[in-house]
A and B are shown apart, each in its own frame.
Chain A
Amino acid sequence: MTAFLAGLRQLRQYPSAVIGMTMVLSLLVLSLVTVLTIPYSEAIRLWRGAAGVWDESPELARPTWFQLFSARKLPKTIIVDTRQGGKEIANQPDGTRVVNASLRFAFPYDELPSAVGLWLSATYKEAQPFVILTWRKPNGEEIALEERTPQQTDRYFVSRDERLRERLQARSIEEALFDAGPRGNGALLRGTYELAVEGILFEPDADLEARLVVYGKVHGIAGTDAQRRDLSVALLWGTPIALTFGLLAAVGTTIFSLSISAVGTWFGGRLDASIQRLTEVNAMLPGLTLLVMIGMFYSRSLWVMLLAIILLSMFSLGIKTYRAIFLSLKEAPYIEAARTYGAGSFRIIFRYMIPRVIPMLIPAFVTAIPGFVFLEASLSILGLGDPDIPTWGKLLFDAYANEALFKGYYYWVLEPAALLMITGMSFAMSGFALDRMFNPRLRTA
C-alpha cells in the first residue's frame, strides 16, 4: 500500500502521465457507458440503417453545438403528428367521413429547413382515402400541395416533388414553403406554420393519420451523415472497438514476440539465428499491402484483420530488444538456481524469464496501442473496414467518399479525427511518461 502511494506521489511529477492516464480512464468509462446503454446488436441495427430507422433524422445535419459558432439560429428537426391531437372526424350525409387535421408548428429559425416530408398512414379495406393538403404560412399565404390517395403507408417527400416545384415556379420547395410570396422569393417567415390535412374516407372503419417532418440543419451532439445516420452512434461505439482492437493487438503481438524471443534466446544456436533472420525479413515486408490483400480476398472482419496483424507483427523488431534483455537474464543467478534444481526449459522460460521482463515492457506496450488503432483506421480509409461494425476509420472513409472536406462538412471529419487523436495521444503520453519514469537516465526537468 505504501509502495502504491509512493508510486502515485512519483507519478505526480509527470504531468503528461497524469493527463494521459486520465484521458485513457475517461475513454474506458465512455466505452463502458456506451456498451451498457446501446447494446451491440442495437448499434449494428442502427448503423446498417435498415428501412425506416433514420427516416426522421435530417441529411448531412451539423451537430447542435455548431450553433455556438454561428450568429444565425439554425433549424432543428420539427415533427408534428395527428396522433398527438388536433384531428376531427365528421360524418357526411352520403356515408363518407371527412377528417380534418391541422399540423401546426412554430418556426423561429434564421435559415430554411433542409427538407420537408410527410408520412400518411391510412386504414381501409378497399377504397383508399383521398387527401387534400394545404400549407399555410404565418402571413396567411396558402399553397395547395399535391393531392394524394395514400395506401397503408404513404411517404410524401414534399421536397422532392418536382411537379409541385414547377407549378409554383420556385427555385426550391423549401423556399416556396418558408419564404414570403407564392414563389418563395421574399424573406424567410418566422412564426406558426400549419399544414391542413383534409381527408375523405369512403369506409365506416377507415382512418387516416399524418406525420409531418420538417428536417432541420442541426442534429444531436454529432450531426448526421449523407445516409441520415446519427454520427454519435458510430462515434460512441467506435470507442470500445478501437480500445479493444488496440489492446488485443498490442497484447497479442507482445505475448508472441516475447515468447518467440525467449525460446530463441534460451535454446540459442540455429533456432535463435533463424528467428533473427526471420525478424530482419519481416521488418522489410510490405505488411500493410499484405493486409490489404487479405482484406480484399478473404474477409474484412475486424477479428480476422486483428489475427492477421498479430501474425504479421509477431516477428517485429521488438524481438531484438527482448533478445538483448533475455541474453543477460539467461545468466542471472536465479535462473542458474532453477536449472540446478532441475526445472525444465519451458518452465524456466514461461515461469521465470518472461514474467521478469514484463514490467520493463509496459511503457513500450502502452506506446504500441495507438499504432494499432491507427492501423485499423488506415485499413478502413482504404475501404477495407469491417462491413458491420461502426468504427472511427469507417466514418473517415464515408466522409472522404462523400468529399466532406471539399464540400465543407468539416464536423464529419473532425469528430472521428478528434477521437482518434485523443486516443492516440492519451496512450502515447502515458507510455512516454512511463518510459521516462522507468528509465530515468534522461529525465527532463
Chain B
Amino acid sequence: MNAGSTATVTVPPSRSVWRETLHRVGLYTLRRIAVLLGTVVIGTYLAVLIANWGGEVDKMREAQCKEKAGMSIQADPALQFLPPEERRRRYEQEVERCKQLQGLDRPFVARSLEYLRDALTLSLGRAMQLTSDSGSREVRNIILERLPATLLLFGTADLVLFFTAIAIALFLSRRYGSVFDRLIVALAPTSTAPGWFYGIFLILLFAGLLHLLPFGGMVDIPPPTATVEYAVSVLHHLILPVAAVVIGSICLSIYSWRTFFLIYSSEDYVEMAKAKGLPSGMIQRRYILRPTLPPIITGFSFMLISLWQGAIILETVFNWPGLGRLLYSAIGSQDTPVIVGTVVIYGYLLALTVFVLDIVYALIDPRVKVGERGIGS
C-alpha cells in the first residue's frame, strides 16, 4: 500500500463513488453466479453421463413408462373387457408412445441434454423404492423433505466451528509458544481423520458407555408434541454429530489460522498501532483480523466443501435423517433416480455455500468494493 491508497479510501464516499462501488460489487456477484452455475451444470452433466454410461437413466425412464402404461390400462374401464392379447398390445403401444415422447429413440447427446435439464430442475420423476415420510414417491419431494435436517446439522456445526476456531486462533496468536499453543500444533494432524470417524468414538463413549446422549436420530421416538420439548429433543440429538464435525476439523483450522495471525501481527503497521498505545482488542479486530479474514474465508469455503461431503457418512453413522442418510438408503435399495437427485442437490448446496461465502468475502475485502485499479490510483 502506498500513500495514495490511504488517500482514496479516506475520501468521504460521494454519490458517484457509491454508484461505482455498487457497480463493482454487482459485477463481481454476477461473475461469481455465472461461474458457480457453470460448475453446477458441469457437475450435473457429469452425473448424468456417469449414470447413463451403462444406460441406467434409459432403463429408469423405460421402467417409468411401463409403470405409467400399466396403470393407465388398468384404470381404463373401457379396456376391462378386452381379451388379454389385445390389452397386451395396447400396453406395448402405450409404452412405445411414451418412450417416443421421452425421446428414448433419439441419439444420446440430445437426450443427455434433456436429462441435464430435468436433473437441474430436480424433475427426476418417481423413486424406485424409497418414499418420503409424507408418503410421496416424487424424487423432488423426498429430497426436499430431507434438506432441512442436513442444513440444521451442518449449519450449526459450521458456525460453531468457524467462530470457535477464530476465537481460539486469535487467543493463541497472542500466546505463541505456550503449552496450549504447542498442544494445538501437536494435535493438528488429528484433522486428517474425518468427522464421522470421531463420531464413532463419541457414540461409543457418550451413548454406549455413559448413556448420556442418544446413539443417533434427530428426535426422540415418538417425537414430543410440544414445540419446546421438540426443540430440546432435537438439540439433545444435535450435540454429538456437531461435536464430531467440530473435532474433525478444529485443530487444523486453529493451527493454520493462528499461523496466519502470527504472520500478520509482525507487520509494521501492527507494531505502529502498538506503539500508539491502542488497546490490544482493537489491534486484533482492526489490524490483524481485518486483513486476514478474506484468505481465511476462502480457505473456509473449501473446507466446507469437504465437510458437506463428509456429511454423507456422518449422517449415516449418526442415523441423522438428512440427505446423506438418504443417499445411503438409496445405495442400499439401488434407487437410481434418488441417487442422481442427491448428487444434483449436493452440487447446488456446494455452489450455494461458496456463493454465500463469496458475498461475505465481497463485504470484507475492500479490493472488491474499490476495485484493484482503485487502490493504485
Contact = CB atoms under 8 A, between A and B. Distances in A.
B53 interface: yes
Contacts of A410: 204, 208
Give the interface centre of A288, A381, A383, A432 by most chain B CB atoms within 10 Å.
A288
B200 A413 contact: yes
B284 interface: no
Interface string A411-439: 00110010011001101110110000000
A408 interface: yes
Contact of A292 (B54, B188, B207, B327): B327
B43 A285 contact: yes
A370 B192 CA distance: 6
Contact of B192 (A284, A293, A424): A424
Interface stretch (A90-98, A151-159, A177-185, A294-302): A294-302
A338 interface: no
A286 B203 contact: no
B204 A413 contact: yes
B73 interface: no
A407 to B, nearest CB: 9
Contacts of A16: 186, 189
Interface residues on A, range: 35 or more
A286 B204 contact: no
A421 B200 CA distance: 12
A290 B47 contact: yes
B234 to A, nearest CB: 21
A4 B208 CA distance: 50
Contacts of A417: 197, 200-201
Contacts of A383: 328, 331-332
Given A294-B50, A297-B53, A444 B189 contact: no
B200 A396 contact: yes
A283 interface: yes
Given A296-B334, A432-B189, A405 B343 contact: no
A413 B339 CA distance: 28
Given A284-B354, A298-B53, A428-B192, A405 B203 contact: yes
A382 B313 contact: yes
B204 A424 contact: no
B350 interface: yes
Among all A-B residue pairs, the 8 with the closest Cβ atoms: A428-B189, A286-B346, A288-B309, A370-B192, A428-B192, A289-B343, A284-B39, A281-B39
Contact of B262 (A283, A290, A406, A442): A442
Contact of B259 (A414, A431, A442, A445): A442
A444 B185 contact: yes
B302 interface: yes
A287 interface: yes
Given A286-B309, A382-B312, A432-B189, A293 B343 contact: yes
B147 interface: no
Interface of A: 16, 20, 280-281, 283-290, 292-294, 296-298, 317, 367, 370-371, 374, 377-378, 381-384, 396, 400, 405-406, 408, 410, 413-414, 417, 420-421, 424-425, 427-429, 431-432, 442, 444-445
Interface residues of B, number: 61
B46 interface: yes
Contacts of A280: 35, 39
B149 interface: no
B197 A292 contact: no
Contacts of B119: none
Give the interface centre of A287, A378, A413 by most chain B CB atoms within 10 Å.
A378
B342 interface: yes
A283 B51 contact: no
Nearest to A373: B192
Given A292-B327, A370-B193, 11 more contacts: A284-B354, A286-B346, A288-B310, A289-B342, A296-B336, A298-B54, A374-B197, A378-B313, A405-B203, A408-B208, A414-B204
B42 interface: yes
B317 interface: yes
A286 B51 contact: no
Given A396-B200, A442-B259, A289 B54 contact: no
B350 A286 contact: yes
Interface in B224-263: 259, 262-263
A384 B312 CA distance: 13
Contacts of B328: 382-383
Contacts of A289: 47, 309, 312, 327, 342-343, 346
B194 interface: yes
A353 to B, nearest CB: 26
Contacts of A381: 196, 313, 316-317
Interface string B303-328: 00100111011001100000000011
B181 interface: yes
Interface in B333-358: 334, 336, 339-340, 342-343, 346-347, 350-351, 354
A406 B340 CA distance: 32
A383 B334 CA distance: 11
A435 to B, nearest CB: 10
A124 to B, nearest CB: 48
Contacts of B351: 284
Contact of A444 (B51, B181, B215): B181
B43 A286 contact: yes
B200 A444 contact: no
Interface in B152-173: none
A45 to B, nearest CB: 27
B295 interface: no
B188 A432 contact: yes
A432 B251 CA distance: 13
A396 B199 CA distance: 13
Contacts of A298: 53-54
B177 interface: yes
Contacts of A286: 43, 308-309, 343, 346-347, 350
Give the interface centre of A283, A284, A298, A371 by most chain B CB atoms within 10 Å.
A284
A405 B204 CA distance: 6
A423 to B, nearest CB: 10
Nearest to B38: A281
26 contacts: A283-B302, A285-B350, A286-B347, A287-B309, A288-B312, A289-B309, A289-B327, A290-B343, A292-B339, A292-B343, A293-B343, A370-B192, A378-B310, A381-B317, A382-B312, A405-B207, A405-B208, A405-B215, A420-B193, A421-B197, A424-B189, A425-B192, A428-B188, A428-B191, A429-B189, A442-B262
A232 B91 CA distance: 56
Contacts of A414: 204
Contacts of B197: 374, 377, 417, 420-421
B332 A374 contact: no
Nearest to A408: B208
A425 B204 contact: no
